[in-house]
Amino acid sequence: MADMIEIKHLNKYFGDLHVLKDINLTVKRGEKLVMIGPSGSGKSTLIRCVDYLEEPTSGEVVIDGTPLTKKNHLEMARKYSSMVFQQFNLFPHLSVKKNVMLAQQKVLKRSKEEAEKIAVEELTKVGLAERIDFMPSQLSGGQQQRVAIARSLVNEPEILLLDEPLGALDLKLRKEMQLELKRLQREMNITFVYVTHDQEEALTMSDTVVVMSGGKIQQIGSPQDIYNEPKNAFVARFIGDSNIVDGVMLRDFYVNFGGHDFTCVDRGFKPNEPVQVVIRPEDVQIVPPSVGMLTGLVREVIFKGVHFEMHVDVEGYEWIIHSTQASQPGELIGMNIGPDEIHIMKRSEV
């Protein structure tokens, strides 16, 4: 796939506050890229720079080979991109259809007849054909967000920028809209750049995940890579639950932690190098203490619906274990971990 968006050495300051720090990122045409990070990580500022709602302090944003500038950013936005925000920003005194027509007539200078035709087409795509004459107050939150999405599609954008678009919806509606957005992206082959703070949403919606913290990109990769091979402790903790413990890489494919030597699949470390070991909660097998590689004392058990979450004391570390079988608080359990379930990180990356 050809590059649709290139971000080169981008920096953004608000006064003395350095919000984006030398960001370099490429988005392929037709790609679904999701940016995730905690509040203040810079993800929303970055997506706003892509649409030139925020002007970069330095660096460059290139859209389909053309750099964005003060002079051309409005023309480029009309030609290439649309933005969907968390807030629906619908005009309460206008019908659904007229909300979608308005920008076409005012900004794109389309005739009333053409704007109406396109509005009906886009509202049909998002499943609102029977509600085009409703007022926004007559719609659910999910339906209002569909109107906002339909409005963003009227200029037939090649890039759809979505800044926390489902943040105002409840969990059920969020999941429904995730499926709807994925369907639209697949059918229209639009390049998606999507901002969220929701870990599950990031993994569900993306071809590529960009994890941000402190104005920097911490890791870029597929959802599977981000989850299974976190680059540092921040990514391991932020994307899903992780057990992160100190260990020593004895030699290639052999690590010691928790008082036991384990076979692993990592290599390239110095002999006896101090490392950090990452094990996901679902990758720990509970066995009788007599046959466990590690033993731990169960401190707390929480029912999570599809599994039990157990907090277990192992050699002074609190481990989290997910299992469909619950042990009891105060019970001593054995724990086995396979080589593929052990991920090694350099201590300096913490």
Task: Give the DSSP H or E segment for 11.
Answer: strand 3-14
- Give, as one character, the DSSP assignment of residue 339: G
More confident residue, 342 or 77: 342
Task: Please check whether residue 242 is in contact with residue 229, taking contact to mean a CB–CB distance below 8 angstroms.
Answer: no
Give the whole-angstrom CA distance, residue 146 versus residue 179: 12
What are the tokens at 226? 């981000």
What are the tokens at 29? 């045409």
Q: Which one, of 235, 218, 202, 238, lies nearest residue 35 by Cα?
A: 202
Q: What angle do CA 99, 149, 174 make, to 5 degrees?
A: 125
Give the whole-angstrom CA distance, residue 88 versus residue 271: 56
Write down the pTM of the prediction: 0.86
Position 348 scores a pLDDT of 57
* pLDDT over 80 (residue 339): yes
Long-range contacts formed by 231-235: CB under 8 A, 24+ apart: 231/345, 231/349, 232/345, 232/349, 232/350, 233/276, 233/278, 233/345, 233/349, 233/350, 235/211
Give the whole-angstrom CA distance, residue 20 versus residue 11: 5
Give the whole-angstrom CA distance, residue 181 versus residue 36: 17
Three-class SS state of 189: coil
272-303: per-residue pLDDT in tens? 999 999 999 999 999 999 999 999 999 999 99
State the sign of the Cα–Cα–Cα–Cα dihedral 218, 223, 228, 234.
Answer: positive
Give the whole-angstrom CA distance, residue 229 versus residue 214: 21
Q: Which residues contact 64 (CB under 8 A, 6 or more apart)?
A: 4, 80, 158
Q: Residue ranges of the alpha helices (H) in the chain?
A: 43-50, 73-80, 96-106, 112-125, 141-152, 171-188, 199-205, 223-228, 233-238
What are the tokens at 256? 């010691």
Position 154 scores a pLDDT of 87
* pLDDT over 90 (residue 176): no
132-168: per-residue pLDDT in tens? 999 999 998 888 988 998 998 888 889 999 998 888 7
Position 107 scores a pLDDT of 80
Average pLDDT over residues 313-334: 93
What are the tokens at 75? 């023309």
Q: How many CB atoms lie within 10 A of CB 112?
A: 10
* pLDDT over 60 (residue 349): no
Give the whole-angstrom CA distance, residue 346 versus residue 268: 10
